[in-house]
Structure 1
Amino acid sequence: MMKSMLAISGLLFSQLAPAGQITMTDPQQEKMENGKTLCTYENSQYVFTYVTKGQCPYAKTFDTQDSE
């Protein structure tokens, strides 16, 4: 019984661990020479860049480990 309680507790706590992701909104857009768009999402802690063929998505989720 104690082992099953520990296993259930471990599963619950693992779901509460930070996922290491952040959703950013309202990027700065810059057209590049090759016709693609450079999207820059930033706040006081993170800066992320994303290149796309069209317009930048208003909201995008990033892994916090990938921050510049």
Structure 2
Amino acid sequence: MSDASEGLTWRKSSESLNGDCVEVASLPDGVAVRDSKNPGGPRLTFSRSEWHAFLQGANQGEFNDL
């Protein structure tokens, strides 16, 4: 889904079965995350290093106990 007003292209996981999940968009200096059910609502922003650290932890099972 593209947000032309901000020039952002939002993506969600292909594993999303019902469409209710988080979406991510690339920013010039990081990554934005929002709730797909509320696209006009608030969003979180992360630097590229923060995002890569999160992905690394997720890939290594760091959050499996949550």
- TM bucket by the smaller chain? 0.3 to 0.5
Bigger relative contact order, structure 1 or 2, given CA contacts below 8 A and separation 6+?
1
TM-score normalised over the length of structure 1:
0.34
Larger Rg: 1
| Structure with the bigger percentage of helix | 1
TM-score normalised over the length of structure 2:
0.35
